[in-house]
Amino acid sequence: MASTFRCDIVSAEHEIFHGDATLLVATGEMGELGVAPKHAPLITRLKPGKVVVTLPNGEQLDFAITGGILEVQPTVVTVLADTAVRAQDIDEASVRAAKEEAERILAGRAEKMEIAEAQAKLVEALVQLQALERLRKSMKH
């Protein structure tokens, strides 16, 4: 059996994933970051993007996050995400509608607060659409 670590992915709303993993790949501030068993301890910020968890059976779980913190301890890896969703749970129609609404707000002359909120919603929508695209590609192979 391959060496594993416990992996927890949580957001402010709830726990998204809890289980054993052999590899975690996330988008850190300096680029892609891979964490395998016995990785050196670290804490880093995560950019909006993907988190891919490889399970001991080789299955890969794809998550879309809007940023957060990655903490690596000797036997536990924790992703504290601002928001996180499994790619398979994304509602494409509502994400596309949110993206269009954010783009509409950004194209107009809105208040600064509304622009910042629209930018955040646009990033979240784009990250989720990318996760859906990765899920579709993995299903074709």
The pLDDT tens digits for 112-125 are 667 778 888 888 88
Same domain, 63 and 81: yes
| Domain hosting residue 50, numbered range | 5-87
Helix 92-107, helix 112-140: angle, nearest 10: 150
* Structure-block tokens of residue 40: 């050196």
d(CA 27, CA 46) in angstroms, rounded, equals 6
| pLDDT (average), residues 9-26 | 94
Same domain, 123 and 96: yes
Check: CB of residue 53 under 8 Å from CB of residue 46.
Answer: no
| pLDDT (average), residues 42-70 | 94
| Contacts of residue 138, Cβ cutoff 8 Å, sequence gap at least 6 | 60, 62
CATH number for 24:
2.60.15.10
Look at the chain and report how many structural domains it folds into.
Answer: 2
CB atoms within 10 A of CB 113: 8
Angle ∠(20,79,83) on CA atoms, nearest 5 = 120
Confidence check: pLDDT of 110 > 80: no
Check: CB of residue 46 under 8 Å from CB of residue 81.
Answer: yes
* Structure-block tokens of residue 2: 């391959």
Same domain, 18 and 78: yes
Same domain, 118 and 99: yes
Is 138 in a helix, a strand, or coil? helix
The pLDDT tens digits for 22-34 are 999 999 988 899 9
